[in-house]
Chain A
Amino acid sequence: MVIVKRKELSLAERLYLPEVFRALSITFRAIFKKKVTRQYPEERLVTTAVTRGQPRLVLLDDNQHLACVSCGLCEIACPAYAITIDGAETERCIEREPKRFEIDMLRCILCGFCEEACPKDAIFMSDELELADFSRAALIYDIEKLKRPRAALQPRIDYFYGANDRWRKRSSTS
C-alpha cells in the first residue's frame, strides 16, 4: 500500500477564486495560439511513401491477376496472425495463385513484415489508413478488397527498394 501525501495548499490556492482565474487565463491564451487539432475528415493527414498504411495486394501489369503466388511467407511472418492464404493451381505460366487471401484488418498492426517477407513484390503497405464498418466480418478483407493496380502503390514500391538499397550499402561496409 502506498500512502499518497497531499500537497500543502498555499493561501491563494485555498481561496479558490485566484486559481479559477489562472486556469481561465490559460484557456484564453490558447485561443490565439496555432491550432493543433485537425478538422478530420475535411483536413486529412498528409501521407507519403514512408507512411505504413494497410497492406494491399499488387496486380500484375495485365490488371487482372495478382502478383501473389500464395507462398505463405507473409502469413508466417505476420506477428498478429492476420493473414490467411489458401493456394490453388492456375493454367498460367506461374503455377500457383491464391484462392483465398484474407487479411483481418482488425488484427493487422501495420508493421510491414508482410511487405518485407514477400519474395514476389506482391504485397505492399498502401497509404490507406481508414478503417470503419458496421460489422467485424466486413473488416476481414478478401482479394477483391485488397487488390490494387501497381500504379497506385508505385511510390511505396520505389521507397521500399530505395530504403533496402541504403540498408544493403550500410551493412556491406560495416
Chain B
Amino acid sequence: MATKQMTKNEAAYIKKVNSKKLSGSFEFMTSRLGWQVSGVFALYLAVTAFMAESVSTAKLIIAAVFAVQFLLQFFITSKITKELIGPAGAISDGTRKLGFLLVPFILCGNFLLFIAGMMLVKKEKNIEYQLSVYSLLISLYIILISALNLFKPKQASTFVLGMALYGLYSIFNLVVIFAVGKYAMGKKPDKKFMPFAVICLLGLALGNVFSFLLGLIAIGKYRHKNDEISVEWIDVIRRLFKNYTAVIGMIVVIFLLSVSIGSNLTFDYRIATSNNFSQMLAQPSLAYPFGCDDYGRCVFTRIIFGARISLIIGVISTAVPIIVGGLLGALAGYYGGRTENIIMRILDVLSAVPSILLAIAIIAAFGASTITLIMALSVGGIPGYARTVRAQVLGLSNQEFVEAAKACGAKDGTIIFRHIIPNSLAPVIVRATMGIGSAVLSTSSLSYLGIGVEAHIPEWGNILKAGSTYLESNPYIAIFPGLAIIIIVLAFNFFGDGLRDALDPKLK
C-alpha cells in the first residue's frame, strides 16, 4: 500500500519534471505547435472538401499534403520527446538531421514547420540565429505571396524586378544564416560579420525588422566593451524571443509591415482599385485566392494593399494616446493634488464626449485626410490611457522602491521614467494591443459615414463593409478581411503579452 502510494507520487513528480524539461526546449515547443496546427488544418481541409456538393480533388490533395506534414511533424515531436525525457536528456544528431525534411514545407506556406525544422537542425542557437531564420522566413513568404500573382492574366510592370530583388534578398538572408553560424556564435561576433550586420540594418527599409534587429544586436555586441555584463536591451530582446507565441505575433506583424512595402513592386494597385465587371463576385480561385468583390476587384490584392493603411492608422492612432495619455496620467498620479485635479477634470470632459462623435467633429473641422483621421481616432483614446496609468502610478508611488529612490535623492523625472513608468506599463500594453483592432474598425465606421478613407481605397474595414452585403450569398468577401483584422489584433496581443513579460522588471 505504501509503495503504491509512493509510486503514484513519484509518477506525478516525474511527469512534472519531464514537462518542465520539454517546455524548456525550444525545439519541442516549435515542433508541437507544428503538428497541432498542421493536423487541424488538414482536418479542416478534408472536411470542407467532402462537405462541398462535389468532392473537390484539388482540396483533397492539399489536405493530403498537410496530413503528410502532420504525420512527419508528429513523428519528429515524439522522437524529440523520447530523447529529451530519456537518459541522454538531449536531442540526438540523427533526430536533428530530420529537421531538414521539415524546411521545404515553407513552399506550402507552413511557416511553423519551417521554424521547427530550422530550430531543430541547429544545436546551439543564439538570438542572432533565431533572428536570421525569421528574417529569411519573411523574405521567402513575400516571394510566395507575390508568386500567386503569376496565376493572374496580367502582372504589375515591376513584378519581375520585384521578384528578382526579393530572390536576391532571400539568398542574402540564407547567407547570413551561415555567416551567423560561422562568425557570430560567441559572446562577441567576429569582425568579419560586420559587413553582414550593416546590410542587415538596411532590412528596415524593406520592413524586415528581424533583419534590422540582427544587425543592431551584432553591432551592439561588437562595440560593447565589458564582456562580463550583458547589454540590457539585448537581454530584453532575448527574453522576448524566448516566448514562442510572442515570436509568432511578431512574425505576423512584421510580415504585414514588409508586405505593405514589398507589394509596391510585386502587386498591381489597379487590380485592387479598378472595377472589372467580368470578374464580379468571382469565387476564390488560384488567380483570385480570396475571390472578387461586387466590383470585380481582387479581394486578396485589396487586403495586401489594405495592410498599409490599416497598420499605419492602427499603430499610430494607438501610440499617440498612449504617449500623451500615459504622460498626463503619470503626472497626475505622481503629483496628485491640484495638478491631478486639473488634468483629470479636463480629461473627464473629453471622455464625456462619445469618441465617434468627437472624431466626426474633428474630421468635419479639419477636413478628411489620413492625418486628421489618425488625430480624430487618437484624441478619443487619451482619457482611457491617462486613467489606466494614473491608477497604476497611484498604487506604485507609495511603494518602497520609489521611497528608496526618493531617499537616494533621485529627481522626479528619473523616478517617473525609470521606476514608475516601466512598472506601470503592463496594463497599458494590454490595452493598447486591444486598441489597435478597434482603431481599424473605427476607421471603417468613419469611412461608412463618408468621412474616413474613400470607399474604393483598399482598407480592411472598407473591404469588410463591402462584404457585409453579401454575407449570405458570397461570404468569403467578408470572411477574409475579417480574418485579417482578427489576425492583426491577435498578433498584436501575442506580441504585447510577450513584450510586457520581457519588459517587466520583476521578471528579470
| A and B associate | no
Query: B interface vs A, CB < 8 Å?
Result: none
